[in-house]
Amino acid sequence: MARKKMDSLLSSVKVQHLGRVYRLIEQFDLISRIDLSKLSGFVPASITALTRDLIGAQFIMERTSQSTVVRGRPAMGLCISPFYWQTLCATLTEDRLDIVLCDLTDEIFAHQQYTLMQEDFLNLEQIVLNHVLSFAEQNKDKISHLLAFSIAVAGQLDKEKQTIRLGTHYLNLDLNELFEPYFKVPVIVSEYFKDWVAAESTLGSAINCNDVLFLQLDDVINLSVLLQGQFLQTDKQIRMNINRVNLPKVTPWSEQINQHLSEIEKYEFQHQLTHEAIYQLIDLAFPNNALENTSQKINFLCTQANENNESAVKILHHLADSLSYVLMNLVNMFSSEKIVISSSLLGAKKIFLERLNKKLNENLLLDELHVEIATSKYPWNSAVVANSAIKQCLYDGSLLAHVLVS
């Protein structure tokens, strides 16, 4: 019994080491075993053994690299193999379902976007399942050596309570239970925000930064804090809840929306800067618009602002000023050097970010602080983000263990 326990422990440690090596190889286009040994801290003999296992399982491959300066024998390096494993990834938002088939280098083989109507939420479970199965059937000739299926919820996900929030919709839905009967590979359910943060910190706008605020500003508000290279998190998630932070009355619009809420609630962050608040602002500024409360309405605002419509620009300035107040306090609290933002408002990126930068740094100068605002390197439907949940399971070794044992 003790022997089995020891073997299990050694196996667990080994797959963690394999995941660590895989992650380092992915962060470089091509890396030598010598450099890999230096960066990982593993001795050359261990690197040889670990990379042999990864090559055997077809996760990585050897590739030659001929220097243009020094003649002679080409150097042999390691890179991620694009020739074997595939991943199937879905992203669920309040008004669409995106599905992508790609490889471990994030190259896309097939992609489809399905629009979700408000009435679809009455039977969302079956509709999402049908779309995924239909996509798999339509692309069955392209699918081979599937590693895993992942589905990311772009709102908020509580796995323990099996609830999801998409916009104003709160649903009891166990996505693992829904999909597992239809897949022979692992099914990974995740929160899109966590996947996005992982992609940005590993390969994107926040790589090599130790003190970063990650902010998603859409139908929900999600915040994550990287402090001295470590995420501040609870046992369950890296997302911090700042929904109830109260904002000042930046402009008259602050008090003109959310008339159905109490005086305290109406000024909360979640009621001033999410899509629901922006829809109300658009209706106030453009009373004749007949658009539904979807991403189409946000796109309309951004288009109008880009065309220098005064009312649209004022809305974006109002939102940027409100956001700057919250970010100023967070930067002061955590001494962040960078803020990475993902938001549908970036459709009018120049107008929104210029105002946000101006207001934020005006306030921070009082405390002799400066912060860089960066936008997401990846669009919301990027294969890199969609693939991120599966990559996290490779990095921690859990998915590697599934492949190597089975």
Query: Could you check whether 2-80 and 86-197+382-393 share the same CATH topology?
Result: no
Contact 360, 372 (CB under 8 A): no
| Cα(294)–Cα(118) distance, integer angstroms | 9
CA atoms within 13 A of residue 266's CA, in its CB half-sphere = 14
C-beta atoms surrounding 43 within 10 Å: 10
Contact 109, 102 (CB under 8 A): yes
Q: Which residue numbers in the chain have pLDDT < 50?
A: 1-3, 5-7, 9-10, 68-70, 72
Q: Which candidate, 372, 335, 373, 341, places its Cα nearest to that of 228?
A: 335
Which of 3.30.300.30, 1.10.3470.10, 3.40.630.40, 3.30.420.40 is the CATH number of 207-375? Answer: 3.30.420.40
pLDDT at 74: 57
Question: What is the dotted CATH code of the domain comprising 86-197+382-393?
Answer: 3.30.420.40
pLDDT at 317: 97
User: Which residues in 117-132 are b (16+ Cβ under 10 Å) and which e?
Assistant: eeeebeebeebbeebb
pLDDT at 22: 96
| Cα(168)–Cα(173) distance, integer angstroms | 15
pLDDT at 235: 54
Q: Where in the chain are the domains? A: 2-80, 86-197+382-393, 207-375
pLDDT digits (tens, 9 = 90+) for 68-124: 444 545 578 999 999 999 999 999 998 899 999 999 999 999 999 999 998 999 999
| Cα(38)–Cα(42) distance, integer angstroms | 7
How far the first Cα of the chain sits from its last, in Å, is 22
Here the tokens at position 168 are 């104003």
pLDDT at 158: 85
Which of 3.40.50.1000, 3.40.30.160, 3.30.70.600, 1.10.10.10 is the CATH number of 2-80? Answer: 1.10.10.10
Mean pLDDT of the chain: 90
Strand-pair category, 86-92 with 146-153:
parallel
Q: Which candidate, 178, 219, 12, 7, places its Cα nearest to that of 96?
A: 219
pLDDT at 8: 54
